[in-house]
Amino acid sequence: MFFLVIYHLYLSPHRKYVRLLKNLLGFVPRNISLYRMAFRHRSAAITSKNGSKNNNERLEFLGDAVLGCIVAEELFKLYPYKDEGFLTEMRSKIVSRTSLNQLALRLGLNEILEFDKQILHHTAKRSSMLGDAFEALIGAIYIDQGYNFTHKLVTNRIIKPHIDITALELTETNFKSKLLEWCQRQGKTIRFDLISNEAGESNRLFTIQVVIADEPYAIGRDYNKKNAEKIAAEKTYEQLGITR
């Protein structure tokens, strides 16, 4: 292991990239190609010989599951007397797209992420790419270093220094539920309509519009349908000026 570290840091043709990763993560990775893939957004995908797209989406899928497991375990130990509803809500707050985007920025993932610069003109497309890269990074670390190493890194280098659990506990983030409750009090119908994407937008992008009493309100866009609904709900909540 020692000689592999020396090789990666000083002899490998990728040594500059390895040093960048070491400064970013605090350790020297074994499989460098995993991390390159983790930081390659779909807009900068490389097509392999078999026609598949080489980007971070598969690692993102894996990292999402690993991160969810780690966070769930830590919350389970931190709140021994809280029920599963509370634990689920707290986990959702920690791994929300907004939270992961902020974590990615704090860690400096924006400095290493590969993407097509044209995406900067599309708010909906760029809104989740840092959070996606963060999850892909967790997936890469899991494959490269194993679960125990990943658990320690996420807990000690990410959760403890960057997330205020106590403050998060008091933060209300479920705007969809709050909006549904408001409509119920007002005796108004509400639905979340999936509408057609604009020309040039990916078919995988969900465009959701809130409709209250048959009147259209804010729109939310995300590559995850539930996240798109949450974004639309939060915008509508602010648009209506609801105070409780």
- Write out pLDDT tens, residues 129-142: 888 899 999 999 99
Domain that holds residue 219: 175-240
Report if residue 53 sits inside a domain: yes
**215 shares a domain with 149:** no
Report if residue 57 sits inside a domain: yes
pLDDT of 124 > 50? The answer is no
**35 shares a domain with 62:** yes
Report if residue 133 sits inside a domain: yes
**81 shares a domain with 101:** yes
- Phi, psi for residue 134 in degrees, rounded to 5: -60, -45
**150 shares a domain with 43:** yes
**158 shares a domain with 184:** no
- Over the stretch 192-215, which tens digit does the pLDDT of each residue have? 999 876 555 556 778 899 999 999
**47 shares a domain with 76:** yes
- Over the stretch 85-114, which tens digit does the pLDDT of each residue have? 888 878 878 887 778 888 998 888 888 888
**181 shares a domain with 152:** no
**196 shares a domain with 151:** no
**128 shares a domain with 47:** yes
**161 shares a domain with 61:** yes
Where helices occur in 79-146 by DSSP H, the ranges are 84-94, 97-107, 123-126, 129-145
Report if residue 101 sits inside a domain: yes
The mean predicted confidence, pLDDT, of the chain is 81
pTM of the predicted protein model:
0.69
Report if residue 4 sits inside a domain: no
The beta strand positions in 132-180, using DSSP E, are: none
pLDDT of 1 > 70? The answer is no
Active site amino acids: 64, 135
**106 shares a domain with 200:** no
List Cα–Cα distances, 141 to 17, 59, 192, in angstroms: 16, 10, 37
Number of domains in the chain: 2
**92 shares a domain with 74:** yes
